[in-house]
Amino acid sequence: MRAEFKHKGWNEIKTNDSWAIFKIMGEFVTGFERMSKIGPCVSIFGSARTKPDHKYYQLAVDVAQKIVEHGYGVITGGGPGIMEAGNKGAHLGGGTSVGLNIDLPFEQHDNPYIDSDKSLDFDYFFVRKVMFVKYSQGFVVMPGGFGTLDELFEAITLIQTHKIDLFPIILVGSEFWGGLWEWVKTTMTEAGNISPKDIDLVQIVDSADEVVDILNKFYENYRLSPNF
């Protein structure tokens, strides 16, 4: 009886996995259709836990506002913290403000600064990450946690392996990122696990002006287009 119960349970899991394909397809189709209309945008990543009175929240607002004033829109994960700050800056600058929300048991709720027609909801992290990469002209990475690191290193990996075209990856906050990137430059490089030229895929800055300067200089030489 116990073996039979286990067997039925496993079959049910496999059946659910098969039907999940259609939900995944639906998220991709909706994402592609809506994101293809937004125009050139820059994604801003960072901690959902950063409070509005924190210096990095205000810096993210400034970065986003400067970005939209230079003709780009802003994409965030749609939630609180740095994501809210990014959408707020885009809203204050009168630019495109996109939120790619994810259903989570904690932390995540959409923020009020997303354009009403540009708020998308996802159940799958991997679908959401495709949207970030495909429709972003650059990544601006503020201080954050594991999710921020996941998005950062996936973008670096895709560029390093030539799965997507080169685009700017900008870390904001040298006091936060400096130790990590020094470890990458020394320990990882000296171990032979990455090429020294991979270090140049990322730049570290401390101001909004530096962010837009990097973006503008890069796109003086490259055509703005979706990245896939």
Which CA distances in Å does 209 have to 60, 216, 224?
12, 11, 20
DSSP per-residue letters across 15-57: HHHHHHHHHHHHHHHHHHHHHTTS-SEEEEE--TT--TTSHHH
Predicted local distance difference test score (pLDDT) of residue 107: 55
Strand, helix or coil at 77?
coil
pLDDT by residue (tens digit) across 7-38? 555 555 556 778 889 999 999 999 999 999 99
Q: How big is the chain, counted in residues? A: 228
Confidence check: pLDDT of 41 > 80: yes
Average pLDDT, the chain: 90
Confidence class of residue 1 from pLDDT cuts 50, 70 and 90? very low
Domains of the chain listed by start with CATH number:
2-219 (3.40.50.450)
Scanning the chain, the segments in alpha helix (DSSP H) are 2-35, 55-69, 82-92, 125-134, 146-160, 174-183, 189-190, 208-219
pLDDT by residue (tens digit) across 102-135? 877 665 578 999 999 999 999 999 999 999 999 9
Predicted local distance difference test score (pLDDT) of residue 228: 35
Confidence class of residue 224 from pLDDT cuts 50, 70 and 90? low
Confidence class of residue 154 from pLDDT cuts 50, 70 and 90? very high
Q: 144 and 47 in contact (C-beta within 8 Å)?
A: yes
How far is Cα 220 from Cα 223, in angstroms, rounded to an integer?
A: 8
